[in-house]
């Protein structure tokens, strides 16, 4: 039995047993170990970690040996930390078994701090890859021309890491003679590796002799096929069940994403409606953008009323306003294609015309007021005498009204005082009656 050159046969390991090929694929690895063999193994690199700072603060790098010592001697803050580090220790002792001195990446400690992500991580992908790499490296090292020759006293040995127990179970399932001679198969279990138990002391020579004496009756079955492209139908059906579970979980996640997308689209539609409404209001009614054009006209009129009375100053201010309006019109003309700015241009013209009308009306009104003032100057003498007479009559009327009001107030006060006296007399009479009744009793 030896490993074949598998460079052109895909990712599976191919073993030649006698004249028959045996294929150890990821499908078989998944069925034997029941580990998750589908998904991405990428993890974000971790610089700092709670476990490292709490339990391994004195170490710059972590290995399985350090983890084992900490598991035996550490005083954990809570049971959760003990369980998390225990799971991590189990992973690097069985599925990812390696030398004690090999460093463990800090990102796996960060992953262990979240049990949900830890359980969902595809450990089977890493374990199968590590096992395959270790087996291939061991064979390449054996066949290498640069390998140091062994002394006669030395014995050839292999140091293979990874999940080799899965390869052993595959050999039991694929080579019935070895399984019957060295193992006992129990009831079908899941994972498959729990269905087998072997003797304590199995010699290498006994296994090799069993392999060399294999006949056609005991030839490897099922997975030992001559075709490189496909596995057996039974194994594929079982592997499909595992894949189906992963597909269902992915479909559930996709359904959640679709629901979130629908909600997001509804929100986008609402936002677009609001934007369209704002656009219509601003473009259709530019007064909204400028805090209502009519209100600004009123404010401008009030400012014009508060201006100085001299016509020269008014004319200068009007000329300055016209210059500013001309500048604004030039800016608007630069973008005549914009409908909003075109509407603003029309409003500016309308405002200019109104101001011109207001100035004309004011000038006419001021001239009329000046003439009226000149006419009043001649009549001021007579007007003053008449005003004095009117004021004297008004003062007399006020005095009469004040006297009448005082009389009414006095009468009201007298009436209220009389009412209060009557109330007091009634109270006294009632009190006297009560005293007489008490005396009679």
Could you tell me if 179 and 304 lie in one domain?
no
Indicate if the pLDDT at residue 216 is higher than 50.
Answer: no
Q: Comparing 11-25, 43-57, 74-88, 201-215, which segment has the lowest mean pLDDT?
A: 201-215
- 364 within domain boundaries: yes
Position 183 scores a pLDDT of: 87
Mean pLDDT of 276-287: 61
The interaxial angle of helices 339-440 and 311-334, nearest 10 deg, is 120
From 229, 247, 269, give the residue that closes a domain: 229
Could you tell me if 214 and 308 lie in one domain?
no
Cβ burial 65-90 (10 Å sphere, 16+ → b, else e): ebbeebeeeeebeeeebeebbeebbe
CA 127 to chain centre: 33
- 287 within domain boundaries: no
Could you tell me if 51 and 197 lie in one domain?
yes
From 183, 213, 229, give the residue that closes a domain: 229
Indicate if the pLDDT at residue 417 is higher than 70.
Answer: yes
Q: Comparing 13-17, 295-299, 300-304, which segment has the lowest mean pLDDT?
A: 295-299
Could you tell me if 203 and 307 lie in one domain?
no
Indicate if the pLDDT at residue 25 is higher than 60.
Answer: yes
* Separation of alpha carbons 11 and 272, rounded Å: 52
Mean pLDDT of the chain: 74
Indicate if the pLDDT at residue 167 is higher than 50.
Answer: yes
User: Domain residues for 90?
Assistant: 2-145+155-229
Could you tell me if 391 and 313 lie in one domain?
yes
- For the chain, the residue count is 441
- 255 within domain boundaries: no
Could you tell me if 310 and 225 lie in one domain?
no
Mean pLDDT of 92-119: 85
Please state the domain count of the chain.
2
Position 232 scores a pLDDT of: 47
Could you tell me if 200 and 310 lie in one domain?
no
From 229, 244, 271, give the residue that closes a domain: 229
Task: Please provide the distance, in angstroms rounded to a whole number, between the alpha carbons at the two ends of the chain.
Answer: 134
Indicate if the pLDDT at residue 387 is higher than 70.
Answer: yes
Could you tell me if 219 and 313 lie in one domain?
no
Other CB atoms within 10 Å distance of the CB of residue 420: 10
Indicate if the pLDDT at residue 94 is higher than 80.
Answer: yes
- 273 within domain boundaries: no
Q: Which stretches within 42-151 are classed as H helix?
A: 50-55, 64-73, 79-93, 106-112, 115-120, 123-143
Phi-psi region of 309 (alpha: psi -120 to 50; beta: other; left: phi over 0): alpha
- 193 within domain boundaries: yes
* Separation of alpha carbons 376 and 325, rounded Å: 41
Supply φ then ψ for residue 222, to 5 degrees: 50, -85
Could you tell me if 190 and 313 lie in one domain?
no
- 94 within domain boundaries: yes
* Separation of alpha carbons 113 and 87, rounded Å: 11
How much is the pTM?
Answer: 0.48
- 157 compared with 276, residue with greater pLDDT: 276
Could you tell me if 214 and 324 lie in one domain?
no
Q: Comparing 20-29, 73-82, 219-228, 279-288, which segment has the lowest mean pLDDT?
A: 219-228
- 280 within domain boundaries: no
- 365 within domain boundaries: yes
Sequence-ordered list of residues with C-beta below 8 angstroms from that of 13, at least 6 positions apart, any chain: 3, 6, 23, 24, 25, 132, 135, 136
The interaxial angle of helices 123-143 and 164-174, nearest 10 deg, is 80
What Å distances lie between residue 334 and 214, 289, 351, 424, CA to CA?
96, 20, 20, 92
Position 145 scores a pLDDT of: 44
């Amino acid at each position: 039995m030896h490993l074949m050159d598998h460079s052109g046969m895909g990712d599976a390991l191919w073993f030649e047993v006698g004249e028959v090929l045996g294929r150890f694929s990821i499908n078989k690895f998944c069925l034997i170990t029941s580990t998750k063999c589908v998904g991405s193994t990428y993890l974000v690199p971790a610089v700092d970690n709670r476990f490292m700072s709490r339990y391994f603060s004195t170490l710059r790098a972590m290995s399985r040996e350090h983890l084992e010592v900490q598991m035996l001697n550490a005083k954990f803050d809570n049971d959760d930390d003990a369980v998390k580090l225990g799971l991590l220790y189990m992973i690097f002792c069985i599925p990812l078994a390696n030398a004690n001195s090999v460093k463990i990446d800090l990102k796996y400690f960060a992953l262990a701090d979240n049990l949900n992500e830890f359980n969902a991580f595809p450990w089977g992908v890493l374990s199968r890859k590590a096992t395959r790499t270790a087996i291939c490296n061991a064979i390449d090292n054996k066949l290498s021309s640069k390998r140091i020759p062994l002394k006669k006293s030395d014995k050839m040995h292999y140091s293979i890491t990874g999940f080799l127990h899965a390869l052993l179970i595959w050999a039991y399932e694929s080579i019935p003679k070895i399984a019957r001679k060295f193992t006992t198969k129990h009831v079908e279990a899941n994972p498959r590796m729990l269905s087998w138990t072997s003797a304590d002391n199995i010699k290498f020579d006994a296994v090799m002799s069993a392999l060399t004496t294999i006949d056609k009756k005991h030839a490897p079955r099922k997975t030992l096929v001559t075709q490189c492209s496909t596995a057996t139908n039974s194994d594929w059906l079982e592997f499909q069940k595992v894949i189906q579970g992963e597909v269902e979980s992915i479909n559930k996640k996709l359904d959640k994403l679709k629901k979130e997308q629908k909600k997001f689209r509804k929100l986008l539609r609402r936002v677009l409606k609001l934007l369209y409404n704002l656009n219509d209001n601003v473009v259709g009614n530019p007064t909204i953008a400028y805090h209502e054009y009519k209100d600004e006209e009123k404010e401008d009129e009030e400012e014009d009323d508060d201006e100085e009375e001299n016509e020269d100053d008014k004319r200068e201010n009007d000329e300055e306003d016209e210059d500013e309006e001309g500048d604004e019109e030039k800016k608007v003309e630069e973008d005549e294609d914009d409908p909003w700015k075109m509407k603003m241009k029309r409003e500016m013209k309308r405002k200019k015309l109104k101001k011109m009308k207001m100035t004309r009306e004011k000038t006419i009104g001021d001239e009329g007021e000046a003439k009226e003032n000149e006419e009043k100057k001649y009549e001021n003498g007579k007007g003053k005498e008449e005003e004095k007479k009117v004021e004297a009559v008004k003062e007399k009327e006020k005095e009469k009204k004040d006297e009448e009001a005082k009389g009414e107030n006095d009468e009201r006060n007298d009436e209220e005082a009389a009412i209060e006296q009557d109330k007091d007399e009634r109270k006294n009479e009632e009190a006297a009656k009560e005293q007489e009744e008490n005396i009679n009793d």
